[in-house]
């Protein structure tokens, strides 16, 4: 039987409405009896859908899971702005959206596609001067977040049932859908804010395959649904190691490669057992071990 200390991998959780990402992590931590648990990509309490929870040594790879493309279905209420850019905040603007139709909303969307500059919400965890913006905003302090460049790969209007525009958005990491709702509303005239949000995909993970709330309290289900790090990063290149190479990377020694890998390439080092032994980064003459996992071979 696998001990709690040796558990490692990734859980695809369909986060329920009302729970914070930290709540989900805390539930998994209690259920499995393991402290080393984290998540890859925060979801607000009012959002549902794919939340990747990393267990054990997989927590060391959470930044790479967070870097994957995300797909969302967002309900944007046009004609209403709030302090938080979503339904949790106080209403600051109310206006009629009766002049809008499916065609006019669709016509505004291409301006939000590609690499764009986006101002994060005032109520967000981004730090400014060492302090989180939401902490400053809650104290009534003026918050002026600096614009950030984000990537939106695709955006389309799924439905228009006034005053709610339902959008599907495929985007890169760091994109705030709340900001997108606000900015789209302003571009259309009456303002806007996020009414509901569901993350339907994160990388290769889909919401329909995610663990539900009930499964989070069942240790047998969590163990059964734990996805190995190798499976979670299945689209990464792999370098197969022999016993000597495995010993070398655990000593921090570089692996020669002919031809050398392309600059900035990342790869998984696979031990003879089939488990992930390390993250490798391209070097001028081969591979440099970066994140080396422990000798147990747990992934």
Residue 292 pairs with which residues in a beta bridge? Answer: 278
The reply to whether 299 falls in a domain is no
pLDDT at 171 (0 to 100): 97
Residue of 5, 14, 23, 44 with catalytic role? 44
Tell whether 110 and 161 lie within a shared domain: yes
Residues 39 and 52: beta-carbon distance below 8 Å: yes
Contacts with 3 (C-beta within 8 Å, 6 or more apart), sequence order: none
Question: Which residues, given as ranges, of the chain have pLDDT below 70?
Answer: 1-5, 123-144, 294-299
pLDDT at 130 (0 to 100): 56
pLDDT at 6 (0 to 100): 74
Tell whether 112 and 132 lie within a shared domain: yes
Q: End of a domain among 166, 193, 220?
A: 193
pLDDT at 276 (0 to 100): 93
Q: Rounded to 5 degrees, what are φ and ψ at 137?
A: -65, -40
Name the domain count of the chain: 3
For the record, the structure tokens of 261 come out as 């890998």
pLDDT at 298 (0 to 100): 42
**pLDDT tens digits along 163-202:** 999 999 999 999 999 999 999 999 999 999 999 999 999 9
Tell whether 62 and 208 lie within a shared domain: yes
- 298: closest CA among 83, 101, 56, 51? 56
- 42: closest CA among 32, 50, 34? 50
Tell whether 38 and 91 lie within a shared domain: no
**pLDDT tens digits along 122-146:** 765 555 555 555 555 455 555 667 8
Tell whether 77 and 121 lie within a shared domain: yes
Supply the CATH number for residue 126's domain.
3.30.2350.10
pLDDT at 120 (0 to 100): 87
Tell me which residue range forms the domain holding 63. 4-68+204-232
pLDDT at 1 (0 to 100): 40
pLDDT at 297 (0 to 100): 42
Tell whether 266 and 284 lie within a shared domain: yes
Q: Establish whether 44 is a catalytic residue.
A: yes
Furthest-apart CA atoms within the chain: distance in Å: 70
């Amino acid at each position: 039987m696998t001990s709690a200390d040796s558990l490692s991998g990734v859980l695809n959780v369909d986060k329920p409405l009302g729970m914070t990402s930290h709540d989900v992590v805390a539930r998994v931590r209690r259920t499995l009896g393991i402290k080393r648990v984290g998540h890859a990509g925060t979801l607000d309490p009012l959002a549902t859908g794919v939340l990747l929870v990393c267990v054990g040594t997989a927590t060391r790879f959470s930044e790479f899971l967070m870097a994957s493309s995300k797909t969302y279905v967002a309900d944007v209420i046009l004609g209403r702005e709030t302090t938080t850019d979503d339904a949790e905040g106080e209403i600051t603007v109310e206006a009629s959206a009766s002049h809008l139709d499916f065609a006019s909303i669709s016509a505004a969307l291409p301006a939000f596609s590609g690499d764009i500059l986006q101002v994060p919400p005032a109520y967000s965890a981004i730090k400014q001067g060492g302090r989180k913006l939401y902490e400053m905003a809650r104290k009534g302090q003026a918050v002026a977040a600096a614009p950030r460049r984000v990537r939106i790969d695709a955006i389309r209007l799924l439905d228009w049932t006034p005053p709610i525009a339902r959008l599907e958005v495929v985007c890169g990491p760091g994109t705030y859908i709340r900001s997108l709702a606000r900015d789209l509303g302003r571009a259309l005239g009456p303002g806007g804010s996020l009414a509901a949000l569901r993350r339907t995909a994160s990388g290769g993970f889909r919401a329909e395959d995610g663990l539900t709330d009930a499964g989070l309290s069942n240790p047998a289900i969590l163990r059964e649904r734990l996805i190995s790090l190798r499976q979670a990063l299945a689209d990464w290149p792999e370098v197969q190691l022999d016993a000597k190479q495995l010993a070398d990377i655990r000593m921090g020694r570089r692996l020669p490669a002919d031809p050398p890998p392309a600059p900035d390439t990342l790869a998984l080092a696979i031990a003879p057992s089939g488990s992930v032994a390390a993250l490798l980064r391209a070097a001028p003459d081969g591979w440099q071990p970066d994140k080396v996992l422990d000798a147990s071979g747990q992934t």
